[in-house]
Amino acid sequence: MSKYTLLALDMDGTLLDEDQRVSEDTAQAIAEAQAAGVTVILSTGRAIQNAVPYADQLGLTGPMVTVNGGEVWKNPQELYIRHLLQRSSVSKMLELSEKYDTWFWAYSTERLYNRENWNGNVEQEDWLKFGYFNEDDTIRGQLLDELRTLGGLELTNSSPHNIEINPLGINKASGVQTVCDLLGLDISQTIAVGDSLNDIAVIRHAGLGVAMGNAQEEVKQAADAIVASNIESGVAEVIRRFILT
């Protein structure tokens, strides 16, 4: 049996292809890993409602890490722990979106908002994650500078053109560590796979950190191994190289 007993998979750019689908090869490899006794979990920046359909498709009934570690679920129906942004920080992030005229989104515990549908009340909802999208490198750099000045924030991305914000210290590494604690596993028994900056912490923390072939360069540099891209079923390669051997 593999020395790795937990496989933590990012979704966008990793598990999913460019059409938001799981390839047949990847789905088959995940089924084989589960049959071999490995627990496969989703470790994603998405909210639970956007991740559960894929968990159901793949027959994943165990823990889940969502919104970059902002939530850890015992199973797709049962929340274990939740970490919230300070409302004052969310208010400031909204101000920055106006200052820099940039698109944004925000996950509350109730729903997903963005610039086009913003009607949220910052003081009446609980906030899990905030994000910006802007293709202008200069504007993103200015936003990052201001966010760092605010302090108390975990700053990552899920694509080269966005910024994702969680409470400081809350990331996929903290989420997967919580799952390990729940399952009585050591983090050294975990393989973590991803492609973006929001995956770096867990890639560094896991027993084996794997970057997809399409990963950002900084992620590849942090990883122990690099596999094929998300459109080439790189997750299936992870399973066959490091679990089913």
Q: What pLDDT, in 10s, does the model give residues 42-99?
A: 999 999 999 999 999 999 999 999 999 999 999 999 999 999 999 999 999 999 999 9
Confidence of residue 120 (pLDDT cuts 50, 70, 90): confident
* 71 Cβ contact list (under 8 Å, min separation 6): 47, 48, 65, 79, 81, 82, 83, 128, 175
| Three-class DSSP category at 169 | coil
Structure tokens belonging to residue 42: 């989703």
Provide the domain count of the chain.
2
pLDDT exceeding 90 applies to what percent of the chain? 98
- What are the catalytic residues? 10
Does residue 206 or residue 245 have the better pLDDT?
206
Q: Is residue 25 part of a domain?
A: yes
Which CATH number fits the domain that encloses residue 125? 3.30.1240.10
Structure tokens belonging to residue 152: 């108390």
- Average model confidence (pLDDT) for the chain? 97
Q: Tell me the residue range of the domain where 92 lies.
A: 87-167
Number of other residues whose CB lies within 10 A of the CB of residue 1? 8
Query: Is pLDDT of 1 > 80?
Result: no
Same domain? For 153 and 51 the reply is: no
Same domain? For 176 and 77 the reply is: yes
Boundary of a domain, candidates 121, 145, 167: 167
